[in-house]
Amino acid sequence: MRVCIPVNEDQGLDSSVCAHFGSAPLFMIVDQESGACRAIVNTNQHHAHGMCQPLAVLAGESFDGIVVGGIGAGALARLERSGIRVYQTRHASVRETVAAVASGTLPVMTTQMTCAGHGHHK
C-alpha cells in the first residue's frame, strides 16, 4: 500500500506529520512495503480557507489513501468524491503513522472530524 501524508519537512520516515492537510509544506508518498519515501512540494500551501485544491497538487501521483492530522470539510469532500479514502492520525512522525496504517488502527475521516479553519480543530 502507498499512502500520502502531509509533512512539515523532508526527513523521510522521520518527517513530522503536519497538523493540517492543505497547509502542509510537503506531501510524503510512502510505500509501506519498501519504506521508500518521496516528498512532493505543496504548491497550493498558501490558499484561502476553503480553497484547498489537493488533487491539483497530487495529480498524477499513485497512492491508495491519504493520512492526515487534520483536514477541512471541503478538501475531505473533494477527495472522497474522487474515491480517495482519508484516514486520521494523531502520531507525530511518518514512521509511526505508517506503522498505524499497517496495523489497521487509524479511523477513516468523517465530516464530524474535520477542521473548522487552518490550525483549528473542532
What pLDDT digit, counting tens, does each position of 69-82 carry?
Answer: 999 888 898 889 98
| Whole-number Å distance between alpha carbons of 122 and 32 | 30
The three cell numbers of residue 17 are: 506529520
- Domains along the chain? 2-121 (3.30.420.130)
3-state secondary structure of 76: helix
Question: Nearest CA to 49 among 23, 79, 69?
Answer: 23
- Cα 52 to Cα 27: distance, rounded to the nearest angstrom: 14
- Residue 118: pLDDT over 50: no
- Across all residues in the chain, what is the average pLDDT? 86
Percent with pLDDT over 70 in the chain: 86
pLDDT digits (tens, 9 = 90+) for 18-61: 998 888 999 999 999 899 999 999 987 654 555 556 677 888 89
Q: Residue 111 class from Cβ within 10 Å (0-12 exposed, 13-18 middle, 19+ buried)?
A: exposed
Q: What is the per-residue DSSP string for 99-114?
A: HHHHHT-PPBP-GGGS
Q: What local confidence, expressed as pLDDT, does residue 73 receive?
A: 87
Cell match 468524491: residue? Answer: 81
Scan for cell 512495503, then name that residue. 33
Q: What would the pLDDT profile of 9-20 be if each residue is shown by its tens digit? A: 999 999 999 998
pTM: 0.86
| pLDDT at residue 122, rounded to an integer | 40
